[in-house]
Structure 1
């Protein structure tokens, strides 16, 4: 028998809403909120700890919970009425399950690089959760080794990022830092830096990406900061044939990353 909540005025629901809406609340408690069975299963595969889960019993049975958490510690389960769940759910079509998950340290110091020929994606100051989510999906699809976020404008555990990434927050090796910290990190690890910038650039298809390298992308509005342009091994550009001189950051990243993967034989 699960504890049950039937009112949105319940303190547990107010806390859940705070965690969804406020980065400060997530940082203070060291937890974040994930909605949906697929995303929760991906978090579990990624080794994240889940202390609490909220469900609608008509949609998520005890047997389904046991399948989701098979061979893992069962979290504290709270049952919600459908009306309460609808008030806190982000999605129009509900799946009936929301989890509170413990955050991880995303600092560069905790990052362990795999011992192989590295392909790294760096995004500087991405602001829109949808763009960050799309970048993470692209990185997952290409099997990128590491995703680094320079000068992040929002925390990586923002529910909108988790939703737009369809759980790829949990499938990528992610770290954050300042632009200066990440440049120093890449140079110290002898990783070539290829910055997508207009200044002194070569066509991206003329570059050899078969060695350990990082592809750096900035925002569509402002591009990359001078630090990247001045510290890159080579600035690269995607030639435009239309009337604009930039494209969506996730689209640009996809073009560059998959060219690198093509050169590597998609290994």
Structure 2
């Protein structure tokens, strides 16, 4: 095991910068924290550039069999590197995914238009994973998927299915080419989700927490849909709404 003693060590300073999107994009790396996320990354062939453990951390035996050569740091340095109030004693520097996504006939996709809250995006990814989707496309204005809060909220689901960045108009065109109907969440001029019939293949578009899906995206939809409200709430949190819609579209098959 290699040991880092100084808080001024160049690697410590470099790793800490990975909490900024600019540095992540520059180096193609990001930080995950805690044994659960790290095990999920290992189990899904995510490339780990560095493993960093606190000196008192007991590394699981099966990790040792992977012949990882961790950096050992003090509790104080782990606190500097961690982005949480209560560090879990282990971090990993991972290389960004090279997973590709291609729209295929019969597929199920989620397109995200400008969701800005990290917790919302992480929950959306986790829900899409649970719903068995084939991939997720993050459009313009959406928070970075490698943001530490997004990563924690996904609970490892980011490693289970392709999540890519892209121009949503291009992806909608690709869906049309493969005869995958595009449903867009909207409040006006939309049909109740309860009345929508799905063929089991679809692309669902959800939008920004405040302004919803952009007009130019709505104009590209095959169908606008909304979730009927039985109480007095005007709207739902975007992550909750996405979950309801994904399951309803799969349930309401022709």
Give me the TM-score of the superposition, normalised by structure 1. Answer: 0.87
**Are residues 1:90 and 2:83 paired?**
yes
**Are residues 1:56 and 2:51 paired?**
no
Give the superposition deviation at 1:169: 1.3
Match of 1:102 in 2: 95
Greater mean deviation of Cα atoms: 148-157 or 232-241 = 148-157
Kept after mapping to 1: 8 A contact 2:116/2:209? no
Structure 2 unmatched runs, 5+ = none
Give the superposition deviation at 1:116: 6.6
Give the superposition deviation at 1:234: 0.9
Change (3 A) 1:163 1:82: same
Specify which of 240, 244, 250 is matched with residue 229 of structure 2.
240
Specify which of 131, 144, 147 is matched with residue 155 of structure 1.
144
Match of 2:17 in 1: 18
Distance 2:235 2:51 in 1: 43
Change (3 A) 1:94 1:111: same
Kept after mapping to 1: 8 A contact 2:109/2:136? yes
Give me the TM-score of the superposition, normalised by structure 2. Answer: 0.92
User: Aligned residue pairs: how many?
Assistant: 254
Specify the SS of the correspondent of 1:122.
Answer: strand
Give the superposition deviation at 1:69: 6.1
Match of 1:179 in 2: 168
Specify which of 65, 68, 83 is matched with residue 63 of structure 2.
68
CA deviation map 1:12-39 (0-9, x unaligned): 111111012x111111111111111111
Q: CA RMSD in A?
A: 2.1
CA deviation map 1:72-110 (0-9, x unaligned): 4x344210111111222223333211011111246xxx3
Specify which of 253, 256, 260 is matched with residue 242 of structure 2.
253
Give the superposition deviation at 1:152: 4.1
Give the superposition deviation at 1:118: 1.8
Structure 1 unmatched runs, 5+ = none
Task: List structure 1 segments (4+ residues) > 3 angstroms apart after TM superposition.
Answer: 241-244
